Amino acid sequence: MKTVEKNTIQTGPYKTYLNRIGQGNAEAVLFLHGSGPGAMAWSNWQFALPVLGDSYDCIAPDLIGFGQSEHPEDPPGSVSVWIDVWVAQSVALLEELGLEKVHLVGNSMGGAVAEHLLDRHPERFERAVLMGTAGAPHRITEQLDTVWGFYDDPTEERMKRILGWFAYDSSVVGDDLDAIARMRLEAAMNPGVRRSFSAMFPAPRQRHVDALAPPDEALERMDHPVLLIHGRDDGIVPLETSLYLLQHLPQVQVHIFGQCSHWTMIEYKDAFNKLLADFFAGAL
């Protein structure tokens, strides 16, 4: 397996921390992470990048306001404005790297950002995978409300409890769960991360779910091939979001894992990686 390169790149007004593996491969894939406390690209994609990097130029940025990317001193006060920031960041990153057209993978909130990218910049993307994705109408779950409200009680115990919800059976994840919890708690306690996250998701939080979803007419004009992947037992972002998108995206297919919650790329990492490879190769 190739080595993951980590560096910081200027993307418009903000600096982006980037994980990259497989540079020089003919096709590129942009990976967008989700929104839990302490979320970052590497914690989401650490089991996918080394495998897919053998065949693809895999680029996985920390979104602005997350991880080691820049944190605005005066952060936006609405998710709609954050979406604009993340869309602009993603396009600026592709420009900076000289990548004209790429495949796209989005997890949870990153799936919603991916939808907005497909709508606003359709010419920049080939195929898209949306995993456990937001970006469709649904009532906020109690678990998601707690995830976004982490800073009401930001303790290691609460972080472990929250991350325990992300897996259907935490014993399957094993030692990886503790390692990810430590990584994410350390990131979450960074003052910049806390400032950004608190600005993104203040209560009441249903409005943030609503803001992530493009209108139906936007979904219906996205003619990219899309693969939806979802855990049947996802208590963070319910399966109904993918079923909704199944009804509104033109070129769409769905793969549902039973006994799986919100972390398909970790709970079923081998199957997840094979699905992506087959889909990008046009074998699905």
Q: Which residues are catalytic, by number?
A: 108, 234, 262
Q: Taking Cα atoms as reference points, which of 277, 37, 13 lies closest to residue 160?
A: 37
- What's the CA gap between 279 and 284, in Å, rounded? 5
Return the amino acid letter for 238: P
CA gyration radius for the chain? Answer: 17
Give the model's pLDDT for residue 238.
Answer: 98
Q: In CATH, what number is assigned to the domain containing residue 212?
A: 3.40.50.1820
DSSP for residue 202: P
Q: Output b/e per residue, 257-278; b: 16+ Cβ within 10 A.
A: beebbbbbbbbbbeebbebbbe
Q: Identify the pLDDT of residue 157.
A: 86
- Judged against a pLDDT cut of 70, whether residue 1 lies above it is answered with no
pLDDT tens figures, 123-159: 999 999 999 999 999 999 999 999 999 999 998 889 8
Tell me: pLDDT of 112 over 80.
Answer: yes
Q: Convert the pLDDT of each residue in 17-47 to its tens digit.
A: 999 999 999 999 999 999 989 999 998 999 9
How would residue 163 be classed by pLDDT, with cut points 50, 70 and 90?
A: confident
Residue 235 φ/ψ, nearest 5 degrees: -100, -5
Longest CA span, the chain: 46
- Cis preceding linkage at 225, omega within 30: no
Buried b (16+ CB within 10 A) or exposed e, 174-186: eebbeebbeebbe
Cα-flanking dihedrals φ and ψ of residue 16, to 5°?
-115, 130
Print the domain residue range for 219.
Answer: 5-280
- Domains of the chain: total: 1
Q: Which of 35-49, 56-70, 186-200 has the highest mean pLDDT?
A: 56-70
Residues 6+ positions from 253 with CB-CB distance below 8 Å: 226, 227, 228, 284
Contact indicator for 31, 59 with CB cutoff of 8 Å = yes
CA nearest to 95, candidates 215, 11, 13 = 11
Residue 8 has pLDDT above 90, yes or no: yes
**Residue 182: its pLDDT value, please?**
84
Strands annotated E in the chain: 5-11, 14-21, 28-32, 57-61, 102-107, 125-131, 226-231, 252-257
Interval 243-260: pLDDT, tens = 999 999 999 999 999 999
Amino acid (one-letter) located at 281: A
Torsion sign (Cα): 209, 215, 218, 224 = positive
**Close Cβ partners of 275 (under 8 Å, ≥ 6 residues apart):** 129, 227, 229, 255, 284
User: How many Cβ atoms sit within 10 Å of the Cβ of residue 47?
Assistant: 16
Between CA 83 and CA 4 the distance in angstroms is 27
Helices (H) and strands (E) in the chain, counts: 14, 8
Rounded distance between C-alpha atoms, residue 209 and residue 137, angstroms: 7
